[in-house]
Amino acid sequence: MLKKIVIVSLITVIISFFCGDRATDIIASIFNIMFFSHKTPLNTQKLFTKEELRLYNGIEKPNLYLGILGYVFDVTKGAKHYGSNQQYHIFVGRDASRCFVTGNFNEEAISEEVVDFNNEDLRSINHWFNFYKKEYTRIGKLIGKYFDENGNLTPYGKTVQNLIKEAELSKAKDNLEKVKFPPCNVEWDAERGTRVWCSDRSGGILREWVGVPRQLYEPGSKSFRCACINEHNEKLGQIKEYDGCGTKSISCFVKEQN
Ligand code: HEM
C-alpha cells in the first residue's frame, strides 16, 4: 500500500507539471485504476441479516429492498407498488418468495419456503426472479435460508436452485400435462382466503368445457395442484375433491392451494 502511495504521489507531481488543466482528470483515473479497479462493485456483495433487511421498507429507511430466493433487490423505483400502504408492500424488507406463487399476502402466510413447490410453481417463482433481475438492481443477499454468512448457497439454497433447473427442463412435458389437466384460476383475498375456480380458458388452455376444481396429485408425491376435471380426464390422474367444495361446484374456497 505504501509503495502504491509513493508511486501515485510521484506520478501526480509529474502529471501536474506536464499536463496543466487536464492533470486532475488524468490523476483521478490513475487513482481509480490503482486502488479500486480490482474490486467488483461493493453494492452487489452486500450481505443482509433479516433484521437489517427489515429496515428497508420505506418507513425506517427510505429505500425499498425486496428479497426473493435469498437475493436482495432495490425496488425503490417501484414505490407505487411497494411503498407503505401500497398493494405489494408485504414484499419489501423481507424474503416472501412463497407469496409470489400463492398470492396469499396474509402476515401468517409470509414465508421464504418454496422447496415443496411443484414444477409449475417453481417456474413461476423463477419467472418473478428473472423479472427482478431484468427490472431492478440486485444489491446483495440475505443471510439465512438460502445463503450463509459468507454469501455461499446453503444446502437448502442449492436444492431450490436444482429444483428450479429441473422444473425449467421439464416445461415441455408439463405443458402436455397442462392440456390434459388444465390448471384452475386462483385468487386470494384477506377476508375470504383462497378461491379456486374453473373457466373455459383457465390455465391459459382454451377449451369447450369448464370442469370442476380438484386436487391433482403428482405420482408418488403428497403435493398436488388444482386442476379442472371433467368426465374425460377424471380417470387419468390421481384426483381428490377439496374439503368443503361441492361435487359439482366450479368455484370453491379452499384452505391451501397446494
Ligand atoms: C399471485 C398473485 C399476484 C402477485 C404475486 C402479484 C405481484 C405483483 C407485483 C410484485 C407487482 C409489481 C411489479 C413491479 O415491480 O413492477 C404487480 C403489479 C401489478 N399487478 Fe399483480 N400480482 C398478483 C396478482 C394480480 C392480480 C390478480 C391482478 C389483477 C386482477 C394484478 C394486477 C397488477 C397490476 C395492474 C400491476 C401493475 C402493473 C404496472 O403498473 O406495471 N396482480 N403484481
- Would you state the pLDDT for residue 235? 85
The average confidence (pLDDT) of the chain is 86
The closest of 66, 88, 93, 68 to 160, measured between CA atoms, is 68
**How far apart (Å, rounded) are the C-alpha atoms in residues 85 and 100?**
18
Q: Atom of ligand 1 at shortest distance to CA of 78? A: 15
Each residue of 14-23: pLDDT tens digit? 555 554 544 4
Type of residue at 167: A
pTM exceeding the 0.75 threshold for the entire prediction: no
User: CATH fold of 46-169, please?
Assistant: Flavocytochrome B2; Chain A, domain 1 (3.10.120)
**Nearest CA owner, ligand 1 atom 10:** 88
Task: Identify the residue with better confidence: 236 or 74.
Answer: 74
Percent of the chain with pLDDT over 90: 65
* 195 Cβ below 6 A of ligand 1: no
- Would you state the pLDDT for residue 19? 47
- Would you state the pLDDT for residue 256? 61
Nearest 10 degrees: CA dihedral of 140, 142, 146, 152?
Answer: 60
Q: Atom of ligand 1 at shortest distance to CA of 81? A: 12
- Would you state the pLDDT for residue 230? 93
Type of residue at 13: V
pLDDT of 137 > 60? The answer is yes
Count CB neighbours of 236 within 10 A.
12
Which of the listed residues 64, 66, 81 should we mutate to test ligand 1's pocket, taking the one with most ligand atoms within 8 A of CB? 81
Beta sheet of 193-197, edge-to-edge order:
185-189, 193-197, 251-254
Q: Atom of ligand 1 at shortest distance to CA of 101? A: 1
Each residue of 93-112: pLDDT tens digit? 999 999 999 999 999 999 99
Q: What is the mean pLDDT of residues 118-134?
A: 96
Q: What is the mean pLDDT of residues 79-92?
A: 96
pLDDT of 37 > 70? The answer is no
* 100 Cβ below 6 A of ligand 1: yes
Q: At what angle do helices 119-135 and 155-169 cross, to 10 degrees?
A: 100
What's the N-to-C CA distance of the chain in angstroms?
58
Q: Atom of ligand 1 at shortest distance to CA of 75? A: 15
* 88 Cβ below 6 A of ligand 1: yes
**Nearest CA owner, ligand 1 atom 29:** 187
pLDDT of 182 > 80? The answer is yes
Which of the listed residues 65, 87, 188, 195 should we mutate to test ligand 1's pocket, taking the one with most ligand atoms within 8 A of CB? 87
Half-sphere exposure of 195 (CA within 13 A, CB side): 11
- Would you state the pLDDT for residue 36? 41
Residues 6+ apart with CB under 8 A from 175: none
Between β-strands 137-142 and 46-48, what pairing exists: parallel, antiparallel or unpaired? parallel
* 73 Cβ below 6 A of ligand 1: no
Please, where in the chain does CATH 3.10.120.10 lie? 46-169
The closest of 245, 174, 243 to 212, measured between CA atoms, is 245
Lowest-confidence pick of 43-57, 86-100, 141-155: 43-57
Banded model confidence at residue 220, pLDDT cuts 50, 70, 90: confident
